Structure 1
Amino acid sequence: MSIRLGIIGGGVMAEAIITRLLAANIYPANTVLVSEPQPQRRGFLSQTYAVQVTTNNQETLEASEALLLAIKPQVLDKVTAPLKLENKPDSPLILSILAGVTLARLEAAFPGFPVLRVMPNTPATVGAGMTAIAPGKNIDPSHLSLATAIFSAVGEVVEVPESMMDGVTGLSGSGPAFVALMIEALADGGVAAGLPRAIAAKLALQTVLGTAKLIHETGLHPAQLKDNVTSPGGTTIAGVGKLEEKGFRSALIEAVKAAYLRSQELGK
């Protein structure tokens, strides 16, 4: 069977996408080709997922109907400069998950090719990711359908104009780290209140998971849920008051803004 999905870069995000695509049977393993320079990583991907592996980026490009760029933004030019690019009617769809790298840069690297800028996040590993896609000038509806099918396997997909992609990176791209810090801090608070570490960690994790699920399934505004839990003179309002005193909301806003600005810097 011919290769249908090529991937340049076999890191954590590439593996997350591979895992879910295979589980959803969107691509059989023998139709996926990963180009990866590290032999240990190639061996792991081949043995774990039965995908094909290579060190030849040119082969990966030419063999694919869709090519996923899953490399560090800083090495884009090094990876693409040696490629011999021939724009043909069946040229592969280029899917880039490189943070901060603009469509203009990608389209300059792949002249005439259909290019999509994509920003998934790490919950993609368990099929609960959030992916934003921004189409380039050569994209048609069939390209969008293919990209949506690929990234729907790892969670939700939303199409946005490229002008929003750095904001997406700052919020949903970096956001899992911010949420993880919050879960860790909640567990530490439980320990400070006298709970055993294992119980505190379980309570913190399920509280965040359950709250997110409740908001998702009911459509409640987060402020409304907060009001529902906050009784007059009770424990919750005491905690909310302390969070406001310490600038909790402001800290999260500034974290997203800092990640957004760094995404802009990476694209220059």
Structure 2
Amino acid sequence: MKIGFIGAGSIGSAMIKGLIHSGINPDDILVKGGRSNRTKELQKELNFKIVSNIIDLRDTDIIVIAVGSLALKDVFNELKEFVKNQVIVSVSGGSTIEFMQSYLPNHATAFAIPNTPVSIGEGVTGISYAKEFNEGQKELVKDVFERMGKLIEVPEEQLGIFGTVAGCSPAFIDILIEALSDAGVLNGLPRKLSYEAVIQMLIGSSKLAQQSKGHVAQLKDQVTSPGGSTIRGVAALEENGFRNALIKAINAANNG
């Protein structure tokens, strides 16, 4: 299987890293980068192949488009000149299936939104497929994307908010990690130990929530004993609008 990339910015490079770290042979990844030296620097690290022109991707099985939205028209104008059997997946903001089909009618096109943890195989990607996709082509996409984490099929009209929740929230979690670590330091923990404790707590809590068959509220209830320290902390979060702050952050990111 050969995988082509058009663009190696933040999300493109994260995907390339995730695929190579999953065991994909770097020789099977062909990348057409932009005018910056970012692709060349990344290639020195990961040893994938750099191609000079988009048409050099004509022998790949799947092409991932990871360019800025302003470049999409130029990219699809080039793709329509040679694409035949390749599956096309755009991870570029501003893509729609209707847009892609206007250049590649009746072709297997899909719009996907991954988040940056794909770089370590722990990402989540929402994807919407054009009706032209057959099961074999979907299996090809799954084979690629599930190497980088979880792939979830989402109706296209819900893909935007899915991408906001999955794609913007890592930054919010980074702020949460920093704030919890600050609280640990304020109360006497060394900074390194505080970060270590917080990060491992989040990993463990996330895995427990993922494996639990009940509502996450039940997990919270299990550790909030009457009059205990955890319920006092929960009350302080409610008093200071913790939930509302997160909801407003998602709304601002999604509607800004």
Instruction: Give the structure-1-normalised TM-score.
Output: 0.87
SS in 2 for 1:174: helix
Give how far 1:258 is off. Answer: 2.4
Matched, 1:73 2:69: yes
State the alpha-carbon separation in 2 of the partners of residues 76 and 184 from structure 1: 36
Query: What residue in structure 1 maps to residue 38 of structure 2?
Result: 41
Structure 2: stretches of 5+ with no match in the other structure? none
Alpha-carbon distance change, 216 to 49 in structure 1, aligned in 2, over 3 angstroms: same
**Cα pair 1:170 1:258 within 8 Å, conserved:** no
Q: Which residue of 1 aligns with 2:174?
A: 180
> Offset of 1:87 from its aligned partner?
5.7
**Counterpart AA for 1:253:** I
Match of 1:51 in 2: 48
| C-alpha separation in 1, matches of 2:237 and 2:40 | 48
Q: CA separation of 1:83/1:212 partners in 2, compared to 1, >3 Å: closer, same or farther?
A: closer
The number of residues matched between the two structures is: 256
Q: CA deviation at 1:201?
A: 1.6
Cα displacement (A) at 1:34: 0.1
Does 1:204 find its partner at 2:201?
Answer: no
Where structure 1 has 5 or more consecutive residues not aligned to the other structure, the ranges are 263-268
Q: Give runs of aligned pairs for residues 9-158 of structure 1, distance below 5 A.
A: 9-25=7-23, 27-38=24-35, 40-60=37-57, 62-86=58-82, 88=84, 90=85, 92-158=86-152
Aligned pair 1:169/2:163, yes or no?
Answer: yes
Q: Percent identity?
A: 34
Q: CA deviation at 1:187?
A: 0.9
SS of the residue 2:106 aligns to: coil
What's the secondary structure of 2:105's corresponding residue?
coil
Deviation at 1:86, TM superposition (A): 4.6
Could you tell me how far apart the structure 1 residues matched to 2:195 and 2:28 are?
41
- Relative contact order, higher structure (CA 8 A, sep 6+): 1
CA distance in 1, matches of 2:233, 2:21: 42
| Aligned-partner SS, 1:165 | helix
Q: Once superposed, which parts of structure 1, at least 4 consecutive aligned residues long, lie more than 6 Å away? A: none
Q: State the alpha-carbon separation in 2 of the partners of residues 39 and 178 from structure 1.
A: 29
| SS of aligned partner of 1:63 | coil
Out of 215-224 and 200-209, give the one that drifted further: 215-224
Equivalent position amino acid for 1:79 in 2 = V
Look up the SS of the partner of 2:189 in the other structure. Answer: coil
TM-score, scaled to structure 2: 0.91
Counterparts in 2 of 1:109 and 1:245: CA distance versus 1, 3 Å: farther
How far residue 79 of structure 1 moved from its aligned partner, in angstroms, is 3.2
Report the CA distance between 1:255 and its aligned residue: 1.7
Give the CA deviation at 1:65.
1.7
SS at match of 2:183: helix
Match in the other structure for 2:4: 6
Distance 1:134 1:212 in 2: 26
Separation in structure 1 between the aligned mates of residue 209 and residue 131 of structure 2, nearest angstrom: 36
Question: Partners in 2 of 1:7 and 1:167 — Cα distance?
Answer: 25
Instruction: Please report how far the alpha carbon of residue 48 of structure 1 lies from its aligned counterpart in structure 2 after TM superposition.
Output: 2.2
Name the structure 1 match of 2:247.
253
1:151 corresponds to which letter in structure 2? F
8 A Cα contact 2:88 2:108, kept in partner: yes
For the 8 Å contact 1:123–1:130, the answer to whether it is kept is: yes
**What's the RMSD between the two structures over aligned residues?**
2.0
Offset at residue 59 of structure 1 (A): 2.3
1:118 CA displacement: 0.7
